[in-house]
Amino acid sequence: MEPILQVKDLTHTYGAGTPFQRSAVEHMSFDVNEGEFLGIIGHTGSGKSTLIQHLNGLLQPTAGEILLRGKNIWAEPKKIREVRFKVGLVFQYPEYQLFEETVYKDIAFGPANQGKTGDELDHAVREAAKLVGIRDDQLEKSPFELSGGQKRRVALAGVLAMEPEVLVLDEPTAGLDPAGRENLMANIRDYHRNKGKTIILVSHSMDEIARNVDRILVLKNAHVLMQGTPAEVFARGEELLSAGLDVPQITRIAMELKRRGVDIDPAVYTVEALERQLLALRKGGAGC
């Protein structure tokens, strides 16, 4: 099956021809499969933000191409707006983009620009609100009366109401308290499970990535350093740490236990997996 998105030899250079010339993304290639939950990690300056702005045509490549369902998104520049409806991008701190007088109108802005009206528009707004946990009685409130986490949900609902084929989330839980982070990620997990849509999650939090995604893309210095399942990536924990990146807290604990002579696999990244290993070890020791 053909990937839904393909990044082919992508390069983006800022300040070309000036003393400040630098490539934020350089010869980057990877595929995103239909229905996949992909995580992208990398330290500041690794190219994450520049990369995701290419996925829906907010930036145009210096070289290389982005294919959506096998077609170069810049093949017909006048139709790039349609690409942005199909690949929905939620920026970091999206609540700063809220501007309408009610929550309902803010969520309706995107789908109305798609041409939805009447019952179709109303259904899109209410369905998206429901997906992110916004109650009907909150729809007529001003978005500025809401908490930070609720504003974040309104901004997310505004993108979901356009029914994108691919949802790109840039640090969606940044600045939220732990309960707010987990509630929002639960909404995103439910959306992925119930709708089967493709999701790309950019996050600094290794724990957030580890708990949610099917596959991880690790960026370093404008290139892809590694990619694979969470188990495959965190099995290279020492390499991640030496590259200035982090690993989940549980992986750190497992790596330290291994260093201290405990016979476990240090690539674990969930509490449950570490618990299973320690219990198995205990049972094995009891049987000696």
Tens digits of pLDDT across the chain (288 residues): 689 999 999 999 998 889 889 999 999 999 999 999 999 998 888 899 999 999 999 999 999 999 999 999 999 999 999 999 999 999 888 888 888 999 999 999 999 999 999 999 999 999 999 999 899 999 999 998 998 889 999 999 999 999 999 999 999 998 888 888 899 999 999 999 999 999 999 988 888 999 899 999 999 999 999 999 999 999 998 898 888 888 888 999 999 999 999 888 888 888 888 999 889 888 876 543
Q: Tokens 């045509």 — which residue?
A: 57
Say how far apart CA 11 and CA 224 lie, in whole Å.
Answer: 12
The burial class, CB within 10 Å (0-12 / 13-18 / 19+), for 214 is middle
Cα dihedral 131, 134, 128, 100 in deg (nearest 10): -160
DSSP strand pairing (63-68 vs 5-14): antiparallel
So what's the pLDDT on residue 103? 96
Query: ∠136-137-140 over CA atoms, to 5°?
Result: 95
So what's the pLDDT on residue 285? 61
So what's the pLDDT on residue 287? 43
The burial class, CB within 10 Å (0-12 / 13-18 / 19+), for 231 is middle
Say how far apart CA 258 and CA 274 lie, in whole Å.
Answer: 12
**Which residues partner with 169 through β-bridges?**
90, 201
271 CA to centre of own chain = 22
So what's the pLDDT on residue 25? 94
Three-state SS annotation for the chain: CCCCEEEEEEEEEECCCCCCCEEEEEEEEEEECCCCEEEEECCCCCCHHHHHHHHCCCCCCCEEEEEECCEECCCCHHHHHHHHHHEEEECCCHHHHCCCCCHHHHHHHHHHHCCCCHHHHHHHHHHHHHHCCCCHHHCCCCHHHCCHHHHHHHHHHHHHCCCCCEEEEECCCCCCCHHHHHHHHHHHHHHHHHHCCEEEEECCCHHHHHHHCCEEEEEECCEEEEEECHHHHHCCHHHHHHCCCCCCHHHHHHHHHHHCCCCCCCCCCCHHHHHHHHHHHHHHHHCC
So what's the pLDDT on residue 38? 98
Say how far apart CA 191 and CA 185 lie, in whole Å.
Answer: 10
